[in-house]
Amino acid sequence: MLYAAYGSNLDPEQMAHRCPHSPLRGTGWLTGWRLTFGGDGWDGPLPTVVEDTTDPDAQVFVGLYDVSEADTATLDQWESADTGLYRKLTVRVATLDGDVTAWVYALDDFEGGVPSARTLGILSDAAEVAGAPADYVQALRSRECTSGW
């Protein structure tokens, strides 16, 4: 099954470093979902995705990676899924070639909080490198944020 990256793993260079046996297969959209932040990481709230039943236009840009079994274990460590911080959900991703099934990491903590400028910078840079539309990248860059630590 494919992995749908919405955060810093949108950056193909970062993913090639973390998961060298897991090629980028394309990009798409989680429709009916939104990017939000929650929990408490070392730099403030962490990125996550949640279903959004109130906004019919809600969507999150994702990169689709064909993650090998060995790379999955490594990625689970990078994303702290092996500690329970994030859990894996199966989602439907809309692509130009039709819908595909993928898994995504979702924060297993409360939603809410304002991310740091550093976190938003990392996410928006990764989205831009992955080919997200300019208006999506601009929306990330213009979100409310804190100065971080």
Per-residue pLDDT of the chain (149 residues; tens, 9 = 90+): 899 999 999 999 999 999 999 999 999 999 999 999 998 878 889 999 999 989 989 999 999 999 999 999 999 999 999 888 999 999 999 999 999 999 999 998 888 889 999 999 999 999 999 999 999 999 999 999 998 55
Selected catalytic residue, list 13, 69, 79, 128: 79
Q: b/e string for 60-92 if b means 16 or more Cβ within 10 A?
A: bbbbbbbbeeebbebbbebbebeeeebeeeebe
131 labelled as ligand-binding? no
Q: How far is CA 31 from the centre of its chain?
A: 13
Residue 127: CB atoms within 10 A of its CB come to: 27
> Known binder of ligand: residue 26?
no
Sign of the alpha-carbon torsion through 70, 94, 132, 39: negative
d(CA 36, CA 48): 5
Largest CA distance in the chain: 42
Beta carbons within 8 Å of 115's beta carbon, 6+ residues apart: 37, 44, 45, 47, 143, 145, 146
Check whether 102 is labelled as a binding-site residue. no
5 labelled binding-site residue: yes
Question: Domains plus CATH for the chain?
Answer: 2-131 (3.10.490.10)
**Cβ distance 66 to 103 under 8 Å?**
no
79 is known as an active-site residue: yes
Q: Does 132 belong to an annotated binding site?
A: no
